[in-house]
Amino acid sequence: MQIQLNGEDTQVSAGNLTELVVELGLEQRMIAIERNMEVVPKSEYATTKLEENDRIELVHMIGGG
């Protein structure tokens, strides 16, 4: 399925957000996900299904002032 991941059209095989995190190898990272402009709590990753053309933002913390 094609989704827009961090602004880029991306092909993924994941069906939900838990699978997406695993597919991207981010299980150990402190991240947050926004799906179609709404933040998704980690407790809802497994039940949040990915749909064609979903806009997913996946963020982490970097150095900043």
Partner 1 sequence: MSDVFKVGTHEFTSRLIVGSGKYKDFETTKLATEASEAEMITVAVRRVNITDMGKENLLDYIDPKKYTILPNTAGCFNAEDAVRTLRLAREAGGWNLVKLEVLGDTETLYPNVVETIKAAETLVAEDFEVMVYTNDDPIVARRLEEIGCVAVMPLGNPIGSGRGLANPFNIRVIKQRANVPIVVDAGIGTASDAAKALELGADAALINTAIAEAKDECMMARAMCDAVRAGRGAFLAGRMPKRAFASASSPTEGYIWD
CA distances from 17 to 7, 11, 22 (A): 17, 14, 9
Q: Which positions from 20 to 39 touch partner 1 by CB under 8 A, shown as an x/- string?
A: ----xxx--xxxxxx--x-x
> For residue 51, what are the contacts with CB-CB under 8 A and spacing of at least 6?
1
Is 9 a residue that touches partner 1 (CB under 8 A)?
A: no
Q: Which of 4, 10, 18, 48 binds partner 1 (CB under 8 A)?
A: 10
Q: Which residues bind partner 1 (CB under 8 A)?
A: 5-8, 10, 24-26, 29-34, 37, 39-42, 57-65
